[in-house]
Structure 1
Amino acid sequence: MARRMLAHDWTGTSLGAPHQWPPSLKTAVRIMLTSRFAMWMAWGDDLTFFCNDAYVPTLGVKQVWALGTRADQVWAEIWNDIGPRIRQVLHAGEATWDQGLRLLLERSGYPEETYHTFSYSPLANDAGHVTGMLCVVAEESERVVGERRLRVLRDLAARMSEARTAADVYRAAEASLNTECHDLPFALVYQPAEPGRAQRTFVSGLNREHAAAPPWVALEDHDQADALWPVQAVLADGRAQLIADLTSCAELPRGPWDRAPTRALALPIARSGGPEPVGVFVAGLNPYRPLDDSYRGFLDLFVGQLAAGLANAAVFENERQRAEALTALDRAKTAFFANASHELRTPLTLMLGPIEDLLTDGAEPLTPPQRTTLDMAHRNSLRLLRLVNGLLDFSRLEAGEARTSYAPTDLAAFTADLAESFRDVVERAGLRYVVAAPDLPEPVYVDPDLWEKVVLNLLSNAFKFTLSGEVNVSLEAEGQAAVLRVQDSGVGVPSSDVPRLFERFHQVEGQGGRSFEGTGIGLALVQEIVELHGGQVGVQSRPGHGTTFTVRVPFGSAHLPRERLGAPRERTSTATGALPYVQEALRWLPHTGSGLALPEPDAAVTPSLRGRVLVADDNADLRDYIQRLLAPHHEVQVVADGAAALGAVQAAAPDLVITDVMMPRLDGFGLLRALRTGEATRTLPVIMLSARAGEEARVQGLEAGADDYLVKPFSARELLAKVNANLTLSRVRGEALAREQAYTAELEARVQARTAEVRRALEHSERQALELSTILASLPDAVYVGDLTGIKRANPPALALLGFTDLAQLDHPVPDLDEQLLLRDAATHGRLAAAESPFVKALTGEANQRDVLLRHPTSGEDRVVRIAAAPLWRGGDVVGAVSVVSDMTERARLQHVLQQANVELKRSNAELERFAYIASHDLQEPIRTVGSFAGLLGRKYGSLLDERGQQYLRTIEQGAERMKALVDDLLVFSRLNAEGPPLRSVNTHEPLREALARLDALAQSAGARVNVEALPTVKGDAPRLAQLFQNLIGNAIKFRRSEVVPEIHIGAQRQGDWWTFTVADNGIGINEGYQERIFEMFSRLHGRDRYEGTGLGLAICQKIVEGHGGRLWVSSLPGTGSTFHFTLPAPDA
């Protein structure tokens, strides 16, 4: 702002140029500019506007032109609010203070609701007169608006806490908006109610008849063109939509503002637990606030609270309906039990009557098997009658329809008689049984039928869960009540189950007793009956120490309904007496069976189908029944509970187990788990018996691991069919298992063999990896492996060459590493592009090699290296690359030295060749002269010489001849060192004929035979090839064996682009140790006294062959002969 003030043209203002400003103005401006607090000031009669940097955001778009303008023009839209305050400051010289004053600023192109806390202070000129005003201001728009919105949300949350229905939720929202609606001038909610239509369920700030609040909105696509609110679109995609222009809506409510909303936002109301919105919330927007993130957040929170309230209301409504349904279901259940129990008594009566007649008919006595069967039927019919009566009593008590008849009773005698009925069965079980019921001071008002059920239920319960020890029954007066105690030393009840003993249908899991049979309503019925008598029932129990039930019944009748005292019994009694309880208890005692002989095995049953069947059930009658059914067909063993069954299986495994689900000590599911976890019994077939019908019970049993499930009651045919089917399936499974085990054993052997093979391969791979690592570490060249992301493996020379100390430093993208190493072409020194890097090329699948310059990262020295890179493939894809980097710096230096040495050597060789040629050429004339004059002396004066003189002459002539041959060979050798004529197509027969012509005299003198095969045309120089053949054939004749005729064979064979020639002889041969040395200059294997020669012949041959780009070598055996091989290029090569 200071820079802008310096650049501003102040001459057009009433203040004039800054250098004319009074010191007081300059001081005020300096204070304002250096403050970090937002300030603006007005000075002079025109109230010229100044501000600092902190105040610029408040100006918004006005900051471009506000500086130096009249203050009443800068803030024209709010001058009615601030003008009087400024005039007061200027005229009275007194400061003002405003906190959170709302001002509608047009700083963003539209009127905006803002809040400011500010102070106007007077500014005096140099004469002490008030000439200006300084405003120190803090904008608090966000705080004020945020607190206002927070109050709305807080108020809505408080009201929502008491909402139980959707109507309550909407009333709470309406009440909150009635209290504060600056940010929601109006609001609507639409929810889908009918196919293709949404209903307005909430309206605030609008008249319900207003055109902008239609009660129904169409949701069909073809009806959306004229729709005011985008309800269908928001419901479809679940996203908010802005309605940017509401000018078409006439007379929208203004709410607390002086103008109506011009925009609205339609937001989805989220559904709890589902993606589809439950409705759409239409919010009219504050005309003086921007729709920024803060405003959107407020609307989202408001709609979120609304959605949560609707979800809670839905939950409350569902719970209310569920409670009503449960109440109706409970009433229906009670009615059903009462009706069903009542209806069951008629067929039970018709069953019991005929059975008892048959049992007591003395005229036609029953056979023992018939009587046993009818006794079992009679016992179970009485038990069924007792269970039906119990359900009937319970349903009557629960429905409040018990018609009791209380009468004064000698409760001690009555209770003692009931208890004595159990003495025989208790003592037969080996328990001590004590009954103590002294006379009471007065009769007790009880309903005898109901009291009978209390005593018998408690006694039956005590006997069922007492396996050893004693059962004590006592009745005595304690205070104003008769107290019945039934105490046992049985298994006891866990403390966690004690509070639930009197709950309906509750049974203690895993309790070890004589039986697990029962409906689970006996103790609940006892509690209901005792409470009908105005008494209380309690229990004390410890696992392993027994249980004591205590029943207290008050003396007198004041606590009983007067109308039921001595009232006649209005309903049929459900009392059955003690007989059914006692008979049932007798069947819990251990016994060896029914006493009848089992049927003989059926001879018609195939022996292979017979099996051993174990039956586990706590009901003795059912055990006997199943045993009689299965005995003709199978060997049957019966036990009374799951623990005994498990012991029997472990002693001798049966072929099939039939088990009841509910048994003492170990139930059917526990037995099944034990069998399925045992290795030997895992596949043992198990059939479960249960009285629980229905698909769920069957599925539960099968999921637990049972092979079959049989629901009581079942027919004999059904039981036999399931037993036979499961035994057959078990045998089939056993055979299949045996085959599978054999196959598994074979497979395991194969797997073990394969595993051993894989282990060996792995060990071999590890050895190879170790060897490779050792090799890499010992290689002088740098080797590294990686991919585009970086180097993954490198040997020590690679780290040293690249200037790194460990592998982690190389873990960078390869292009970055190349950039760091400053890779350049070794020849041109130009920088390499990333794609030209040998390693990067290899990663594209191209093996390549290149000499490059790299900059050593540590020393900064340039190194010449040769990088050979190849891709690493896996399954057809390049997964990395390997590079071998050879440091060529020293090699390049040595190569430069070598090149210089070669140049010098070539120069020396050329001089030597010139010298040899000149020397040889100059020697020829003296040698000819010596030879000629020696021959002339011999011819003219030989007769005058004695034998010794003649010998001297011959020596001179021979020396001259040898010297001439040596000089000729030297001339030939020196010519070969010079660059020869270009190679042409040569028919090798021609140079061979020329060589043979030269050697004709020598060959005839030696009697040599030369055999020549068909020879090819080659690329060569004919004169030199003639010299080659001449030397090789001449050697073959020279180094012949005296005892055989010399034979020389010459042939050729094509091998690719080359012809391989052979010159074979049957001469003296060459020792293996000398076969390489014979091609050296002046090399001789024999003295001159045996074979003449200069020692240059084969050296000349090697020079000729090498000049043709070929190779010369020999294979030989002493005393057998030698074969010289040489290669010449084919003409089409």
Structure 2
Amino acid sequence: MTTALDPAIRADAEEAMLHLRVGTSTRVLVGVCGAGAVVMALAWSHTTWPALVVWYGVMLLSQAARIWSEVHAAQRSSGRPLKQRLNWAGWSALMSGLVQAASLAFFPSEDGFEQALHTLILLVMSTGAVVYTAGHPRTYYPYMAPILLSLTLAWWTVSDAASERPELALGFGALLVVYAINLLGYARDTWAMFVNAAAMRHHEAMQNQRLAAAVKAAEAASHAKTRFLAAASHDLRQPIHTIALLAGVLKLRHRNDASTEAVTLLDSVVQSLSHQLDDLLDISKLDAGVVKVAAQPLSLPRFLHRRLDEVSNEARAKGLALQLRADQELSVFTDPNLLERVLRNLLDNAVKFTAQGGVTLTLQQEGEQALIKVSDTGNGIPPEQQREVFQEFVQLHNPERDRSMGMGLGLSIVDRLCRLLEIDLQLHSQPGQGATFALRLPLLVRSSSAVQQAPTQPLPPTLDLDVLVVDDEIMVRQATAWLLSEIGCRCQVAEDRASALDAVRTRRPDVALVDYRLRGGDDGIAVVQALREQIPGLPAAIVSGDIGPEQLQAVESAGLRLLHKPLSPRLLQTELHLAMGQRADTHEST
């Protein structure tokens, strides 16, 4: 491998080799001491014991010095440069090789059998050191060379065979030379494999670093996208919120004159923009984890019928047939509002992307589950693209980005909501054969009498309330005050915390509607807390164009209602109607 020549890779391999020597030092010490003891036994009857003891003691000292140098002087923790530490390891290897080669001083006094055993011991130790040193040239060659050179010379000069059968001694010595050459090749190959292994580790580490950098960049891009969407949504919601309020005022003022059609069209345009911004809001709320599941028993046939009615006008305008197949009375335990959003998005998509034919909503029982299917006769979705449609801003059949088709967030919201509700969501589609989205929910009961749907209470035409509006934009304050006046409320307006506190000293409000982001670094949560210090238990809601996860979680943690701009007149009336109930409860308790 060419990467094996990289200095950084070679350095990594040499560091790993030095570490390997520490890990095997104990086993090598035991082996060398055992081999030395056998050599002493072989020469004991032929040599004076002081010479043997001195040699063995020197060998033990050399091994101790080698181990000390490898554990302390040759490791990275010593702080020495790698070259110097390799020199330490090389000199300690040379010292060990010379001491073990010195055992051949006893060779002439041994008989032929003992010389053969002595030779075998030195060959085994020379061969085993290839593993111990990973064949590293600077630490293996200094150890092996003194042993095999001395052994070859001993066979040629002082062995029994040299005096009795010179040709045999010469041949065996030559064989030792060949063995030494082969051993050097084996050591070289072992070191090459060791370096290649280091190269693979190095490459893997680089890949992991690149992967970590890519993940970090993706996370940064995701956070940047979230911040951009939050900022863009906030800046767009402010003027649209004002337009929505003014459209509500005009709608109330021009109910029966020639302006009604224009006002109605204006209101529908505002609602369309609001729905697209609400898609961004839903994504942010789901990602922020502030959407809570409020499960309750739900009868499905009537629920599905209402969902189909919601898209009937659009389907009729396109000449599409709508069909509901829900003969069985099935009930489930889920959050009706969140399931409503799932089905609304699926049905909206089915109608938008179906040019001819129709849309069918089916309810049936499968075992212990209720199966809801939304089927269309549109273009269909190729199998290889079916995961893509659940990603944000993906629209397969809207290359020109027709705004009437939405922004491509509907199915992404459906996917997140189904995971939150623990609904099994499946897509079945083929090109040219339409698409079917299937939802599976555990059944609750089958009896229609077991689940009662709460009737929708109509809102009163006027609301007798004192309302405090806190917003730092004068257009929003004025538009909100006009709309509140049209529905019978008395309104006080304030632009910051100080003016809001001044206003409540003049007249106690029944409810406060406070913008989240105020000038001067203040925020609506702090303003509500300050107001409640003056009026304990004051009903209040935060009105905001922010969709950032941090802001959503902050309002959630404060226990406040969060109303999102643009705020429709009906939603504003609903919120104030709830405030009337809270005011009545407060009066009864006092």
User: When the two structures are superposed, what TM-score results if normalisation uses the length of structure 2?
Assistant: 0.45
* Larger relative strand fraction: 1
With structure 1 as the length reference, what TM-score do the two structures score? 0.25
Which protein has greater RCO, CA pairs closer than 8 Å, 6+ apart? 2
Q: More helix per residue: 1 or 2?
A: 2
